């Protein structure tokens, strides 16, 4: 047997022995989630309950969850927190007569809607801060200018006191009328399936919108790990 043949057999043997170990490494070390868990925003309190992790007792944390709301969408249908039960959703505020920034923000929202148009886990909620002008008909006409790719983009209005209170005390963003003008947040707010706030993103800034897109995927991955269910 010549030297080349011996070397070839040794190489095959090394590969046979090494490949299973390498695959195990990929499935364990590299197969783990490499996304950093998202923060939870808002006030939180330490619960009286707890759990053990690696033998160490860790108190549970009770996080802020957004309160219920009563809105009406562009089709005249009621929208409450129960409408979005078990859903990941993105919230933003606007008014139809606002300057070009609202158009930019909602174009970015439209892009996100198109990105997740097949994914029934993800909804999008755009709320007017000027319901007196932005009636159901106005909202529907405005929404259709974006040719939304799914019916999971809900453009809503509601009583101003409720909307403003929900914005300030539920989502911790601005929404108010100041004279003849409106003060409102230009953020997208990401809410998880447990109704906790998981992120704020400048809605007119492309890198921020891209970050939101990535972090929606993180939440989807978190939820799919909890229960065995299909992505679409």
**Which domain CATH number covers 169?**
3.40.30.10
Q: Answer yes or no: is 53 within a domain.
A: no
Output the pLDDT for position 23.
Answer: 39
18 and 112 fall within a common domain: no
Q: What's the domain range around 1? A: 1-32
Domain membership flag for residue 3? yes
Domain shared by 146 and 72, yes or no: yes
Which residue blocks in 57-181 are alpha helix, DSSP H?
100-115, 136-144, 160-165
Verify that 106 and 212 share a domain, yes or no: yes
Quickly count helices (H) and strands (E) in the chain.
5, 11
Work out the end-to-end distance of the chain between its first and last CA atoms, rounded to an integer number of angstroms: 58
- Does 102 map to a domain? yes
Say if residue 13 is in the same domain as residue 90: no
Q: How many CA atoms lie within 13 A of 63 on its CB side?
A: 14
Measured from the Cβ of residue 3, the count of other Cβ atoms closer than 10 Å reads 7
Residues 131, 157: contact at Cβ < 8 Å?
yes
**Residue 70 CB: number of other CB atoms within 10 A?**
14
* Strand extents, DSSP E, the chain: 44-53, 56-63, 71-72, 78-79, 88-94, 122-128, 153-156, 175-178, 181-184, 187-191, 197-202
Same domain, 14 and 82: no
Question: Does residue 90 sit within a domain?
Answer: yes
Cβ atoms of 127 and 71 within 8 Å: the answer is: yes
Considering the domain architecture, whether residues 1 and 116 belong to the same structural domain is answered as no
**Are residues 10 and 97 located together in one domain of the fold?**
no
Do 202 and 140 share a structural domain?
yes
User: Hey, how many other C-beta atoms are within 10 angstroms of the C-beta on 52?
Assistant: 8
Q: Residue 27 has what pLDDT? A: 40
* Grouped pLDDT means (10 residues each) for the chain, 232 residues: 61 50 43 69 81 72 92 97 96 93 96 97 97 96 96 97 95 90 94 97 98 97 73 48
| 107 in a structural domain | yes
Residue 42 lies in a domain: no
Note the pLDDT of residue 100. 85
Look up the pTM and report it: 0.80
139 and 25 assigned to the same domain: no
> 121 and 17: one domain?
no
Q: How many structural domains is the chain composed of?
A: 2
Same domain for 17 and 99, yes or no, is no
Residue 217 pLDDT: 96
């Amino acid at each position: 047997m010549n030297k080349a043949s011996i070397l070839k057999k040794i190489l095959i043997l090394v590969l046979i022995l090494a490949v299973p170990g390498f695959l195990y490494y990929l499935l364990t070390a590299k197969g783990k989630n490499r996304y950093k868990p998202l923060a939870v925003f808002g006030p939180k309190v330490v619960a009286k309950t707890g759990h053990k992790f690696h033998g160490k007792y860790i108190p549970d944390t009770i996080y802020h969850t957004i309160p219920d709301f009563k809105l009406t969408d562009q089709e005249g249908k009621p929208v409450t927190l129960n409408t979005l039960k078990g859903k990941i959703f993105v919230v933003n505020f606007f008014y139809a007569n606002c300057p070009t920034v609202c158009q930019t923000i909602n174009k970015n929202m439209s892009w996100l809607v198109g990105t997740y148009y097949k994914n029934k886990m993800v909804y999008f909620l755009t709320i007017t801060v000027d319901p007196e002008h932005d009636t159901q008909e106005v909202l529907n006409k405005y929404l259709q200018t974006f040719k939304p790719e799914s019916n999971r983009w809900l453009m809503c209005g509601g009583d101003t006191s409720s909307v403003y209170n929900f914005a300030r005390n539920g989502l911790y963003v601005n929404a108010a009328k100041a004279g003849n003008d409106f003060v409102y947040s230009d953020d997208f707010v990401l809410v998880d399936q447990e109704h906790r706030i998981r992120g704020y993103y400048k809605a007119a800034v492309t890198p921020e919108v891209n970050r939101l897109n990535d972090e929606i995927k993180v939440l989807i991955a978190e939820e799919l790990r909890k229960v065995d269910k299909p992505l679409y």
